[in-house]
Amino acid sequence: MTSSAHSASLKAAILTAIALALLVPLTLLSSLVAERVSQRDAAVQSVARGWGDRQWLAGPIIAIPVTIEGEHPRTCDWYVLPDRLDLVVELKVEEERRRLGVYEVPVYVARVHAVGEFDLNREIVRLTRGETALHLHLDQARLLLPVNDPRGLRALAASAPALKDFEPSDGFPLPVLAAPLAGAAEFSDRRQAFDLTFEVAGTQSLGFLPLARTVHVAAHGNWPDPGFTDGFLPLERHIDA
């Protein structure tokens, strides 16, 4: 073996040893970061269980049981989205953050005013056009209100007294509150307006689901450094110093 080959082998061995030596602190640092992230996530979830988790909100949805006649009849829910939905949101981030150990978790309360209307007659005509094997149970209609974490619901008021008995319900792809809609048969031949106001508490983020033919959201609050992700960006935004 020549001296040059021996020198190259020695350099390679030294570089390999240095690389292996550097991997030890990097591995320890990576484990420390993962542990801190896990502890922070646990702190956030602990606060969310008592205050409210990330919130995704939408306007009301009508659910009507429909029986499909035939050799094997079955009944399922038919969902009617609003024709128009306007959401006005007043967001208040609490000045005092919730603390768990060394971790601070920002929390908020959002007051949401939802107004809009359904065109149930048009949707019924569209569903039953040419179909004779469908039977709509309008007397069992329900109004659903999607709220990602119902534990954060603080208050709810509706223009119609019959829409105040909201309770958690299942069967919908998202967590919802449901109230009986006894008058569905009465307004199935005309447009029906709705007016709801509710307050929800949450942590980390607030999102809105575009579950209507047209949706308009106007939100304002004291969130100091908002970010806009996971969907449509706002057409207009203004952040005060």
Q: What is the mean pLDDT of residues 185-189?
A: 59
Confidence of residue 110 (pLDDT cuts 50, 70, 90): very high
Within a domain: 1: no
Segment (H or E) for 51: helix 3-51
Per residue in 82-108, pLDDT tens?
Answer: 999 999 999 998 877 777 777 788 889
Within a domain: 209: yes
Per residue in 3-55, pLDDT tens?
Answer: 666 677 777 777 777 777 777 777 777 777 777 777 777 877 888 888 889 89
Residue 213: the pLDDT is 92
Confidence of residue 133 (pLDDT cuts 50, 70, 90): confident
Q: Nearest to residue 203, comparing CAs of 91, 89, 58, 101?
A: 91
> What share of the chain has pLDDT > 90, as a percent?
30
Within a domain: 71: yes
Q: What is the mean pLDDT of residues 184-204?
A: 80
Segment (H or E) for 109: strand 107-118
Within a domain: 227: no
Q: What is the DSSP string of 209-231?
A: ---SSEEEEEEEE--SS----SS
Within a domain: 231: no
Q: What is the mean pLDDT of residues 145-149?
A: 93
- What is the average pLDDT score of the chain? 82
Within a domain: 3: no
Give dist(CA 103, CA 123) in Å, integer.
50
As for how many domains the chain has, the answer is: 1
With a cut of 70, say whether residue 188 has pLDDT above it: no
Residue 5: the pLDDT is 62
With a cut of 90, say whether residue 197 has pLDDT above it: yes
Give dist(CA 171, CA 176) in Å, integer.
9
Confidence of residue 184 (pLDDT cuts 50, 70, 90): low
Within a domain: 16: no
Query: For 172-197, b where at least 16 C-beta lie within 10 A, e where not — what string?
Result: eeebbbbbbbeebeeebeeebebebe
Q: What is the mean pLDDT of residues 176-195?
A: 76
Within a domain: 21: no
Strands 206-208 and 55-57: parallel
Residue 67: the pLDDT is 92
Task: Quote the domain boundaries for residue 209.
Answer: 52-221
Side chain identity at 53, as an amino acid letter? D
Residue 60: the pLDDT is 92
With a cut of 80, say whether residue 142 has pLDDT above it: yes
Give dist(CA 200, CA 113) in Å, integer.
11
